[in-house]
Copies of this chain bind each other. A is one copy, B any other.
């Protein structure tokens, strides 16, 4: 198995280094992995004048999976749009065709107090958000800023989904629902947007292929409310790219510890791009205090979804639970009475617990 490792910017290199330690520990136990590093984001721009250098895209295409740290930093904020770090991320997603973004929002019992919500509202929270990642208003044409017929500048972006795009993401949602509680909530704005009216129609039609799945529909504004009111009503949620961007961030914050949350982005053959749900946190970069667990848990998702190695995935997840039970905490999840660990200490603790 060949894995492309793209540390990126900010805390990316430090957290990815810990995840690589975990992969190497599993390799010394017999897991066959080959790792190769490349630049992305601001690091790509610095090294090769492009947030997604050709060599990086080629490596991603030649690999079975990609592990990504994070992209972005204030020093790149004034670059022209095509050179900005996020563009590297958007282009690698599109280039790899990883249309299914799985973002779990899981509350670890040991970290329950970190949530801003009352314990009874969030205890046991375990939501899987399935976000479409290569379509929608993110990529739709026409787009841009132009002068309209009144002589004013006007910005335009196009929300766009065709049947096959909706069908393939809905299939992922249904399959995941089948492996979990068989409850699927599809989120749209079908009362206003025709694009999502089509979405609703197709998701509904596919229910006959998954008769055991209990399908519901919710408008996006209501979903944003219900996530605050009673998040445990949800199990698997499926939605488009822009609504998924907003709702998955909201849902992850319900746990209070986004430093813990991994993500997977899969193509039709389960080849995938794996990254923590959080960002590049330039303010704490280079200080060895970031939380590497989201990245380490992204490796577990990689083993599960791309390499079909449930055993190794479970080993990592158990090791993480173990270090939490032992009291290890990075600064972002530290509370009195626990053991403050640096980023590298946390990585070492996970390796020890494997």
Contact = CB atoms under 8 A, between A and B. Distances in A.
Nearest to A121: B116
Nearest to A242: B189
B164 A160 contact: no
Q: What bracket does the count of chain A residues touching chain B fall in?
A: 35 or more
A335 interface: no
Interface stretch (A17-25, A174-182, A221-229): A221-229
A227 B158 CA distance: 27
A254 interface: yes
Interface stretch (A52-60, A94-102, A145-153, A323-331): A145-153
Contact of A197 (B155, B230, B247): B155
B242 A224 contact: no
Contact of A228 (B116, B196, B226, B248): B116
Interface in A104-143: 116-118, 121, 137-138, 140, 143
A198 B192 CA distance: 24
Given A117-B116, A118-B117, A153 B145 contact: no
A220 interface: yes
Interface string A152-170: 1111111111111000000
A236 to B, nearest CB: 19
Copies in the complex: 2
Nearest to A225: B253
A193 interface: yes
Nearest to A195: B155
Contacts of A212: none
A345 interface: no
B159 A153 contact: no
A310 interface: no
10 contacts: A86-B191, A116-B121, A116-B230, A137-B159, A154-B161, A155-B161, A157-B195, A224-B249, A224-B253, A225-B252
